[in-house]
A = this chain, B = another copy of it.
């Protein structure tokens, strides 16, 4: 049997037909146009599922199930999506709506969770039973795999690793709390600290790279400056790595997974980031003579969402 995976994002819907081993046989996409009513978006998702099945030379009879990764929280028991900020969704009966078009089992899960699951089947954490996927983007998302299965908690609100509190009374977070991990480990954190730093150090390479306009600073500019040895860039990068390392050590002390996988935009910094964070974690590890989670970079890139969603039904 084959599986359909859908990666539902705020700007685009991607879908693909995936084998049991996580290989993509066909894929396609459509714009989300999230100003529309959810019923129209879900009708498009169902249509896209039909298209990718035809593109793979198959029929729906060859498909075991449909999995959907959603940028929000999901109630896996009811198939309802209680919250999805990017889409403006609130209490959307996703699975029931899909069943108007396709008579197959449909499972929904958080997008970071399914991406982490994909890595644990066909990516860098393949063959492990437990892993934690951490997406370092505008915010910080998390995907937990335990016992080889995605773990979202008892009420579907778990694996919100970005909202673990790392600094009580610290930086204000979009969630309303202060000091959340994502305030220190996201691209947003790098940009915020770089803006502060260039105000004091206008000679920094960061300023040259952003054309003298701090509003144009992004994480890549800061990391590239650090790589080139710019002192201000290095200081911002080191501060970022410190926050990231502290958060990853908390994950190890709680969950002790086999692997921690770093994904998202900031992880594009590659070995420069990986080497720095591994080094920063060493002195923070609790049981220093015991083995602990290896930290790796995600490998599946943009296809992780389709693959992981598809394999929910495996």
Contact = CB atoms under 8 A, between A and B. Distances in A.
Interface in A118-138: 128-130
A257 B154 CA distance: 5
A142 B253 CA distance: 10
B256 A83 contact: no
A130 B105 CA distance: 26
Which interface class (under 10, 10 to 19, 20 to 34, 35 or more) fits A?
35 or more
Nearest to A73: B287
Q: Is the interface of A mostly helix, strand, loop or mixed?
A: loop
Given A151-B146, A165-B166, A166-B165, A252 B157 contact: yes
A157 B255 contact: no
Contacts of A86: none
A175 B254 contact: no
Interface string A80-93: 00110000000000
A280 B156 CA distance: 22
Given A147-B147, A284-B177, A286-B163, A154 B168 contact: no
A287 B254 contact: no
Contacts of A161: 253-254
User: So how many copies of this chain end up in the complex?
Assistant: 2
A57 interface: no
A243 B146 contact: no
B154 A254 contact: no
Interface in A224-258: 242-243, 246-247, 249-258
Interface stretch (A21-29, A205-213, A289-297, A304-312): A289-297
Contacts of A256: 152-159
Contact of A254 (B130, B164, B291, B292): B164
A169 to B, nearest CB: 8
A88 to B, nearest CB: 15
A156 B293 CA distance: 11
